[in-house]
Chains A and B, each alone.
Chain A
Amino acid sequence: MSVAAPAPTLAERIAAIPDPEVPVISIADLGILRSVEVDEGARAVVVTITPTYSGCPAIEAISDRIRFEAHAQGYAADVRTVLSPAWTTDWMTDEGRAALERFGIAPPGPATAPRAGGPVPVTLSRHVVACPRCGSTDTTEIAHFGSTACKALRRCEVCREPFDEFKAL
């Protein structure tokens, strides 16, 4: 005899929505889902999300998808976008990082907090990034910006494969 798994709750359904640009990672694992407040009595949900980058075009697709999930379950949805505190890749879950790596995207390293005022730190992006295919750390940045705002393009000098790096922010 098998016991059917309980149907996922609305909050779980929303948390599991995939990122439209990197569909192997959910919006919860990406760290952009800030809160889900379900009011069962009123059949309403307030969802707060934050964009990865200021101009990230995915934020509208994500809002639409959240509304779609809520309406499909019979809830009214209010999706709010907040900018502060600013998203950081440090909010990405370990599960999310592992999913990125399996997908061939190098997960972000630890983010360094920007300093307000004072001299502007300038780097030449020479941090260490491991190849998601062979694990070698002998990799080179090919382009500062990749296919989306959140990624850079690198090449592994050992297995010679190009790969995306999720930039630490």
Chain B
Amino acid sequence: MTTPTDPVTDPATDDAGVAREAGSAAYVLALADDALVYAQRLGEWMTNAPQIEEDMALGNIALDLLGQARALYPHVGVLDGTGRGEDDYAMLRDERAFRNVHLVEQERGDFGQEMARLLWFSAWQCELHGRLAAGSDEVLAGVAGKSLKEVRYHLDHARQWVVRLGDGTAESHRRMQAALEWAAPYVDELFDDEPAAAAVAAGVLTAPPSSVRPSVERAVEEVVATATLTMPETPRWRSRGGRDGIHSRPMGSLLAEMQHIARSHPGATW
């Protein structure tokens, strides 16, 4: 004999409730992967940025994102019921298990490209994390509420550079415009609703990702206009598949570099 449970009032004990939790785990994992992979790419700028202050800036932004990822992974382990920790997710998964968007895995281009990527990514994080901070998952709301303060600063940093380069010399203007064109095909994935559907249904995310698109675009357009640049035309192709674990060529070598020590020396400590 089993006691019947009411799925509406007692979601944690019925199968639908478990499924909803597991469903939001996939989206939280995607957000953690975005943060980790972009932190790895930004870290590559250390000693490679145009000036030492920029090494520090991009290193600090990477550190903020790494902190987000580290707070999110153990929570994914709770939501998906596996109890896995941050290293299990970051170091011991293969490419197909990563759910980040293609934007963050692309190889480091010139500095303008990095600022175009940072502009879109941080404008998107600002809006999305506002919707997470107001959501029903306390841990996630805490991580998002904290990161919101940092991400605004990242956005401000990207803005200053895009304006400086766009409204700078003929050469910097040309290259910043090219950078915006480069980033454009990768933007769509950020606003894909399908991978977030379970998280939205569970109230973890208070609005679907597509709903933040207008305000993210407004933020980017305002910067682009101030920088005397123009928004790229609708791209002829768009990246897709990142949220399903289908990645582009640069992802493999990124993971190889990031994971090889942890995998070559399992369980090593220092």
A41 close to chain B: CB less than 8 A: no
Task: Say yes or no: A117 contacts B131, CB within 8 Å.
Answer: yes
Interface string of A46-76 (1 = CB under 8 A from B): 0000010111110000000000000000000
A122 close to chain B: CB less than 8 A: yes
B251 close to chain A: CB less than 8 A: no
Interface residues on A, range: 35 or more
Q: Which of chain B's residues has its CB closest to A83's CB?
A: B142
B178 close to chain A: CB less than 8 A: no
Task: Say yes or no: B67 contacts A54, CB within 8 Å.
Answer: yes
Residues from 36 to 80 in B contacting A, C-beta threshold 8 Å = 53, 56-57, 59-68, 70-71
B130 close to chain A: CB less than 8 A: yes
Q: Which residues of the partner chain B approach A9 to less than 8 Å between Cβ atoms?
A: none
Q: Which of chain A's residues has its CB closest to B53's CB?
A: A143
> How far is it, in angstroms, between the C-alpha of A86 and the C-alpha of B150 when the chains are bound?
11
A123 close to chain B: CB less than 8 A: yes
> How far is it, in angstroms, between the C-alpha of A51 and the C-alpha of B143 when the chains are bound?
11
A121 close to chain B: CB less than 8 A: yes
Task: Say yes or no: B141 contacts A53, CB within 8 Å.
Answer: no
B145 close to chain A: CB less than 8 A: yes
Q: Which residues of the partner chain A approach B216 to less than 8 Å between Cβ atoms?
A: 120
Q: How far is the CB of A4 from chain B (nearest CB, A)?
A: 43
Task: Say yes or no: A120 contacts B126, CB within 8 Å.
Answer: yes
Task: Say yes or no: B53 contacts A86, CB within 8 Å.
Answer: no
Given contacts A84-B141, A86-B142, A143-B57, contact A116 B134 (CB under 8 A): yes
A153 close to chain B: CB less than 8 A: yes
Q: Which among A53, A120, A142 is the interface contact of B152 at CB below 8 angstroms?
A: A120
Residues from 132 to 152 in B contacting A, C-beta threshold 8 Å = 133-134, 138, 141-143, 145-150, 152
Task: Say yes or no: A119 contacts B215, CB within 8 Å.
Answer: yes
Task: Say yes or no: B145 contacts A84, CB within 8 Å.
Answer: yes
Interface residues on B, range: 35 or more
Task: Say yes or no: B152 contacts A114, CB within 8 Å.
Answer: yes
Which of the listed residues A53, A54, A114, A142 has the most CB atoms from chain B within 10 Å of its own CB? A54
Q: Which residues of the partner chain A approach B63 to less than 8 Å between Cβ atoms?
A: 53-57, 149
Given contacts A56-B67, A83-B143, contact A144 B160 (CB under 8 A): yes
Residues from 69 to 102 in A contacting B, C-beta threshold 8 Å = 82-88
> How far is it, in angstroms, between the C-alpha of A125 and the C-alpha of B216 when the chains are bound?
21
Segment from B197-205, B217-225, B255-263 that makes contact with A? B217-225
Q: Which residues of the partner chain B approach A153 to less than 8 Å between Cβ atoms?
A: 53
Tell me the B residues contacting A by CB distance below 8 Å: 53, 56-57, 59-68, 70-71, 123, 126-127, 130-131, 133-134, 138, 141-143, 145-150, 152-153, 155-157, 159-160, 215-216, 218-219, 222-223
Extra contacts, 18 of them, besides A117-B215, A122-B223 (Cβ < 8 A), are A53-B64, A54-B70, A56-B67, A83-B146, A88-B149, A114-B152, A117-B131, A117-B134, A120-B126, A120-B219, A122-B159, A125-B156, A125-B160, A143-B56, A144-B53, A147-B56, A149-B63, A153-B53
